[in-house]
Amino acid sequence: MPTSSPTIGPFRRPGLVLIHGAFHTARCWAPTVAELERIAPALRVVAVDLPGRGASPGDLGSLTIAQCAEHVVEQIERAGLDEVVVVAHSLGGLTAPAVVESLGAARAARLVLIAAVVPREGTSNLETIPRPVRWLIRRALRPGRPVRPPRPSLASLFFCNGMSPGQRQLVLDQLCPEAPGPFHERVTRAGVPASVPRTWLLTLKDRANPPRQQRAALANLGGAYEVLEIDTCHDAMVSEPRRLASILAERCALH
C-alpha cells in the first residue's frame, strides 16, 4: 500500500483505516484498496485484520470489543498515522466508535459506517435481533466458543447478491470464524466526541442488514452528518469498489 505522505496543497490528508465485519478479514477490502491506489495514490490506507482473523493472532473465544479497538489503535500507531478517517463495515460498527473515542477528536477526522451494526445505547447486538430468531442465534453464539462461518450458500445469499462470480468467490474464500463475545456485550458511545463528523453508507439491496434495520441503527447512533445510498448488497467493498473508493477518498480530502 502507498507509504508516501498524503497531502493536498499545503495540507496533510488524513489516513484511512478500514475495519471489517463479522466472519470477514481484511482481504474483503482488497478491491476497494486497489481502486484507492489508482485514484488517490498518495493516500495512506490501513486495512486491519481484527484479532483472531487473517494475519492477526488472537483468542476468538475470549475476544472483547475493547480488545478489538485497542488492536486497531495499535495498527494506526504502527503505521505512523496521526489523523485518520475510521471506516467500519457491518459488525465493525461495534469497534469503530471505541476507536474514535480512544483517538479523540484531534485525531479522528471522520467516522464512516457501511451497513453497520449499531445497537441502542446500553444494549447488545444480540438484543437488536428479532425475538422469534434470537434464541436460535443465542445458541450459536455460545460464550467461549468461536462461531463457525456461514455455509457458502448462506453467505452468498446474505453477503453477495448481485455480485459477479469472481466477486462472490473473493468473499467466500476469506470467510473465517467469528468471536461470540462482541455479540453479547452491551455498548456505550457516551465517550465518542460529538464533533467528529459521521457518514453512513446505506446499502439498498442488503439482505444481511436490510435498509430498514440500517435506518434503525442510524437512529441508535443519533444520526449522521450525511447519509449516502449505494444500490448494492451487503459487501459493498467487493461489489462496488470504485464507487466506495471514490466516496472514501473524497471524505479524506474534505479534511
Stretch 215-226: mean pLDDT: 93
Cβ–Cβ < 8 Å for 6, 13: yes
Residue 10: pLDDT over 90: no
CATH number of domain containing 95: 3.40.50.1820
Return the axis-axis angle of helices 92-103 and 65-78, rounded to nearest 10°: 60
Residue 186 lies in a domain: yes
Q: What is the per-residue pLDDT for 7?
A: 35
SS (H, E, C) 173-193: HCCCCECCHHHHCECCCCCCC
Asked, for residue 1, whether it belongs to a domain, the answer is no
Question: CB–CB of 96/71 below 8 Å?
Answer: no
What does the pLDDT average to over 251-255? Answer: 88
- Please tell me the predicted confidence (pLDDT) of residue 50: 98
Reported residue count of the chain is: 255
Burial of 57 (0-12, 13-18, 19+ CB in 10 A): exposed
Question: What is the arithmetic mean of pLDDT over 23-32?
Answer: 98
Does residue 108 fall inside a structural domain?
Answer: yes
Q: What is the pLDDT of residues 71-123, one digit of tens each?
A: 999 999 999 999 999 999 999 999 999 999 999 999 999 999 999 999 999 99
Query: Using CA atoms, how far apart are residues 113 and 199, in angstroms rounded to an integer?
Result: 6
Contacts made by residues 72-79, CB under 8 angstroms, sequence distance 24+: 72/17, 72/19, 72/48, 72/99, 73/99, 73/102, 73/103, 75/17, 75/46, 75/48, 76/15, 76/17, 76/46, 76/103, 79/15, 79/44, 79/46
Q: What is the pLDDT at residue 12?
A: 64
In 10 A of CB 12, how many CB atoms? 12
Helix axes 165-173, 152-159, angle to 10 degrees: 120
What would the mean pLDDT of 238-251 be, rounded to a whole number?
98
Task: Quickly count helices (H) and strands (E) in the chain.
Answer: 10, 8
Number of domains in the chain: 1
Does residue 155 fall inside a structural domain? Answer: yes
With respect to residue 143, please indicate whether it lies within any of the assigned structural domains.
Answer: yes
Count CB neighbours of 8 within 10 A: 14
What would the grid cell of residue 196 be?
467528529
Q: What mean pLDDT value characterizes the chain?
A: 92
Task: Tell whether 16 is covered by a domain.
Answer: yes
pLDDT digits (tens, 9 = 90+) for 41-72: 999 999 999 999 999 999 999 999 999 999 99
Q: Is residue 2 part of a domain?
A: no
pLDDT at 129: 76
SS3 207: coil
Confidence at residue 1, expressed as pLDDT on a 0 to 100 scale: 40
Residue 77 lies in a domain: yes
Range of the domain at 161: 7-253
pLDDT band at 232 (very low <50, low <70, confident <90, very high): very high
